[in-house]
Structure 1
Amino acid sequence: MPDATVMDNPLVGQVVAHMTRPRRQALDEEGRRLLLDGVRDEVWHEGRMLVAYTFGDARPDVETGAPRRRALLVHGWESRAAGWHVLVRRLVAAGWHVTVFDAPAHGESAGEATNVAAMGRALLAVAGWLGPVDAVVAHSLGSPASLYAFAHGLRARSSVHLAGPSSLIRALDRTACAVKVDGATLRARFEALTGLDAADMELERLAAGMRHPALLLHDPLDPEVHWSESAALANAWDGALLEAANGVGHRKIIGDSAVVERIVGFLS
Structure 2
Amino acid sequence: MSKKTKSDNQSLQIPKPILITAKFLQAISPKLATQFAAKLFTTPIKHKIPKREFQMDKQSIQHDVLIPSIDKTIKTYQYGNSPKKILLVHGWSGRGTQLVKIADELIENGFSIISFDAPAHGKSKGNSSIMTEFIASILVLEKQYGPFEFAVGHSLGGMAIINAIKQNLNVKKAVIIGSGDLIQDIISDFIRNLGLKPQIGDRMREHFEKKFGEPMNNYSTSVVSKNIETPVFIIHDNDDHDVNVKCAHNIHSHLKNSKLMITNNLGHRKILGNEKVINEISNFIRS
Partner of residue 114, structure 1: 129
Partner of residue 259, structure 2: 241
**One-letter code aligned to 1:22:** P
Partner of residue 54, structure 1: 78
Question: Equivalent of 1:202, from 204, 216, 220?
Answer: 220
What RMSD over aligned residues (CA atoms) do the two structures have, in Å? Answer: 1.9
Consecutive unaligned residues of structure 2, counting only runs of 5 or more, are 1-27
Q: Give the direction of change, closer, same or farther, for the CA distance of 1:188–1:153 in structure 2 (3 Å limit).
A: farther
- Structure 2 residue 104 is matched with structure 1 residue 81: no
Report the alpha carbon displacement of residue 16 of structure 1 after superposing the two structures with TM.
2.2
How far apart, CA to CA, are the structure 1 residues paired with 2:278 and 2:222? 30
- Structure 2 residue 47 is matched with structure 1 residue 32: no
8 A Cα contact 2:176 2:233, kept in partner: yes
- Structure 2 residue 143 is matched with structure 1 residue 128: yes
Counting matched residue pairs gives 254
Q: Give the direction of change, closer, same or farther, for the CA distance of 1:240–1:113 in structure 2 (3 Å limit).
A: same
8 A Cα contact 1:6 1:185, kept in partner: no
How far apart, CA to CA, are the structure 2 residues paired with 1:53 and 1:191? 36
Report the alpha carbon displacement of residue 26 of structure 1 after superposing the two structures with TM.
1.0
3-state SS in 1 of match to 2:152: strand
Partner of residue 63, structure 1: none
Q: Alignment identity in percent?
A: 20
Partner of residue 211, structure 1: 229
Q: Give the direction of change, closer, same or farther, for the CA distance of 1:191–1:97 in structure 2 (3 Å limit).
A: farther
Provide TM-score, normalisation by structure 1: 0.88
How far apart, CA to CA, are the structure 2 residues paired with 1:160 and 1:203? 13
Q: How does 1:50-199 map to 2 (within 5 A)?
A: 50-58=74-82, 68-192=83-207, 195-196=211-212, 197-199=215-217
3-state SS in 1 of match to 2:99: helix
Q: Give the direction of change, closer, same or farther, for the CA distance of 1:119–1:152 in structure 2 (3 Å limit).
A: same
Q: Give the direction of change, closer, same or farther, for the CA distance of 1:191–1:135 in structure 2 (3 Å limit).
A: farther
3-state SS in 2 of match to 1:218: strand
Q: What whole-Å deviation, never above 9, does each CA across 1:80-139 have from its counterpart, x for those lacking one?
A: 111111111111111011111111110011221111122111111112211211111000
How far apart, CA to CA, are the structure 2 residues paired with 1:54 and 1:117? 23
Partner of residue 17, structure 1: 39
3-state SS in 2 of match to 1:98: strand
Report the alpha carbon displacement of residue 204 of structure 1 after superposing the two structures with TM.
6.0
